[in-house]
Chain A
Amino acid sequence: MTGTLSISERQVGLALAVALTLLGLVMAAAARQGPMAVHGAIAAALGLALVFRLGGALYDPEVPAGRRQRFYDAPTRFGIALTVIWAIIGMGVGVWVAALLYWPEATPPWPWTSFGRLRPVHTTGVIFGFGGNALIATSFHVLQRTARARLADSISPWAVLIGFNLFCIWAVTGYLMGSTQSKEYAEAEWYADLWLVVVWVTYFVLYMRTLARRAEPHIYVANWYYLAFILVVAMLHIVNNLALPVSLAGARSFPIWAGVQDAMVQWWYGHNAVAFFLTAGFLGMLYYFLPVRSGRPIWSYRLSIVSFWGIVFFYIWVGSHHLHYTALPYWVQTLGMTFSVMLLIPSWASAGNAIATLNGAWHKVRDDATLRFMFVAAVFYGLSTFEGSFLAIRPVNSLSHYTDWTVGHVHSGTLGWVAMIIFGAIYTLAPQLSGRETMAWPRAVEWHFWLAVTGALIYVVALWNAGITQGLMWRSYDDNGALSYSFLQSVMAMAPYYLMRTIGGALFLSGAILCALNTRATMRRATGAVRAWDRPLVPGPAE
């Protein structure tokens, strides 16, 4: 990091690190105990580590001239390293909680090891840690390559990555200590939420400033998606997390929303987190890495435009399909249902556009596991959006809701689509950023592919069965009008599926570990070579 910063940038960085240390100390001192104090201490420790790192390198030689003539890839490399680390943490905890559902008696006696605290560690770890870092890292790369401009400055990419990861660490350690807002995917407490707003605004400003310097007048579609992701996530995050802290010196708050309004705001957030975090950003990734890897032009420019606006427009309406048959008024549910069905069209148009792009490159799909990751991602994207639109139909939802079918749908989207496209992107990026032709262990990519596909299929198929079995058991009545099964029987019927899910998850996790090791080996053997064409047309700002 320090080697790529000029002396004056190192000074600014040092000042920011000192500020972070002070902020941490103030938090710790004000709270004195509990999660906020621990989080203050974590921030202070991180700040201090950065102070030493930057302070120690303050008077190292100035960066070599000519830096402006190259893309700024160090933050992307750092982000990819964080991505694979969070993959192992998040999926490791996922496999562990999956195992706990099969062997609940294996829960250790300490409160922080309970299922309820570990489950959000999994969801936050994978969505924000793994997915978020992948999105930020690739967005820096894609933005620079498609704008053909160097990032607008060198400090804010680091501030975004480090700040975002501090948020993730605060969130997961908070859950372990029992601190939560009790809003799914938005569990982190108020000060972490405020911190994320600051980080996100920095990210947005950096993105816009760089985009403004682009050499190509048209903005490539990947950037629209990344921008939609950044903008809408900011809006969702702020509205859903509006809360009044009980005290400025403690990690407890109450949302300003109440009752069914709170539920609606939460699922408006929740579903658009799916839409703009787990979908829009990753479509950006797909739209860049798929044509790059396959060497094919995007099949239809018009289709990409219509899909983009269709997805952005329809998604915003559909949150209420999470609240079918609840206190939410019927009319809101009808709107959520119908817009979810219309949403299928732009979703499939995107998946179709991606798959048609591979026309003329099918031999590469066969031979290149990296491209195959992207192909499978597009297929799973089509599958999970079809499934989603189907589940959103009210009578279907009366069968699927509260069952493991939802969890199966989630993981067909996250394992099959999100994780696969990330792996495809990593395997494309890691060699390029290391100045190498291939990954350090090309065979391991093939292994990873099969582990991931097998694991995801086992997981998803097991949970489809589980969910439909549960749903049917809960609604069957015997001749006398009495329930045919007790709830307990439906829980016991889950055992084989939960075991299969654990096995599928373990396969998927092993693939991810292989990816992490392979990426590390590849980056360690970096040659530092940069291809002649891989340079900005618009150099960095004058120094």
Chain B
Amino acid sequence: MTDATDPGRRHSAGHHGGDRPVDPVTGHETTGHDWGGITELNTAFPRIVIWALVLAFSYSVIAWILLPAWPLGHDYTRGLLGLDQSEEAVREYREMERARADWLAPFASAEFAALASDAPLMARAMPAAARLFADNCAACHQAKGTGGPGFPNLVDADWLWGGDPEEIAETLRVGVNSTHPDTRVSQMLAFGRDGILPAGDIELLVDHVLALSRGEDAADGPGAELFAENCAACHGEGGVGGLGIGAPALNDGDWLYGGSPGQIRTTLRQGRQGVMPSWEGRLSPSEINLLALYVERLGKGNRNEARE
């Protein structure tokens, strides 16, 4: 390879008449400056660049005339189109709301039975509900509503707070352990940490809960009495749940926080307070009712219809 940085090679340009070297390739003169071998051609300013500048400048001037553009102390030039971005945004939101109004408005009434039996309405509304669910709920309850540790499965028929659309809508509106003034409150006490029960009793209860969950008849087991005294008030006689206070049934195989002895022990020792946000204010009442119907259908296993 030749030495690309050797300026000697670059001085091959011959001298024509004038005193500045001419570049043989382009036939243009150089400027006569030489920086350690680098030279520049005195090429005339290309016309096209001037035209391009004129074009770009004209575009700008037109934009300045039409749109808000130049500051004038406390004001600014408003532009002939008189555009205002917040007005524009509000107008577009209103337009979109209007486009949805014909099918979304009926959901403002909480006549769930009537709504659910209106098949054409449901066919239009359910795809939107599916997206609302994916955008707002899936982060916790998973894309298909199957939940995970700490986040209830909405697809099984097993409900903490009730599976009627009215009850679901109320759960959505106020949330659970949320900041809403009417929030549903759910407290699984920290029996161990707060010293309500000694460790030995907790061990007996862990075994008892496991026996219940396997459907065994544990009525006269060693934990039965402890359970009746400490737990049944919330979880129901024999752990059947369904009292509508957020305490799950313990006699099925479904778990919110996990059914291994270790996980149950943690539940009993540390307590549990799941938080479901309140959606009032973030979703409109119609959207909440729409979602309630959507979730109810998930729960019924009516998945084909509910999906889209």
Contacts and interface: CB of A to CB of B under 8 A. Distances in A.
A and B from one assembly?
Answer: yes
B43 A335 contact: no
B100 A480 contact: yes
A341 B60 contact: yes
A325 B34 CA distance: 50
A480 B103 contact: yes
B69 A342 contact: no
Contact of A342 (B3, B30, B35, B53): B53
Contacts of B1: 368, 437-438, 442
B240 to A, nearest CB: 36
Interface stretch (B7-15, B166-174, B214-222, B262-270): B7-15
Interface of A is mostly: helix
Contacts of B69: 331, 334-335, 338
A74 to B, nearest CB: 18
Contacts of A56: none
A283 B135 CA distance: 45
Interface residues of A, number: 66
B63 A292 contact: no
Which interface class (under 10, 10 to 19, 20 to 34, 35 or more) fits B?
35 or more
B233 interface: no
B151 interface: no
Interface in A294-310: 294-304, 306
B229 interface: no
B128 A299 contact: no
A482 interface: yes
B85 A330 contact: yes
A301 B85 contact: no
B236 interface: no
Contacts of A221: 40
B38 interface: yes
B100 A482 contact: yes
Contacts of B71: 331
B41 A338 contact: no
Contacts of B96: 477, 481
Interface in B1-40: 1, 3-10, 23, 25-26, 30-31, 33-40
A488 B111 CA distance: 31
Given A220-B35, A480-B124, A489-B134, A428 B4 contact: yes
A337 to B, nearest CB: 7
A359 interface: yes
A531 B36 CA distance: 13
A485 B79 CA distance: 36
Interface in A421-457: 428, 432, 437-438, 442
B49 interface: yes
Nearest to A479: B124
B197 interface: no
A115 to B, nearest CB: 17
Contacts of B156: none
A531 B143 CA distance: 69
A443 to B, nearest CB: 13
Given A330-B68, A345-B53, A301 B3 contact: no
B237 interface: no
A483 B63 CA distance: 32
Contacts of A477: 96, 99
B83 interface: yes
A349 interface: yes
Interface of A: 145-148, 216, 218, 220-221, 288, 291-304, 306, 325, 329-331, 333-335, 337-339, 341-342, 344-345, 348-349, 352, 359-360, 368, 370-371, 428, 432, 437-438, 442, 477-478, 480-489, 531, 533-534
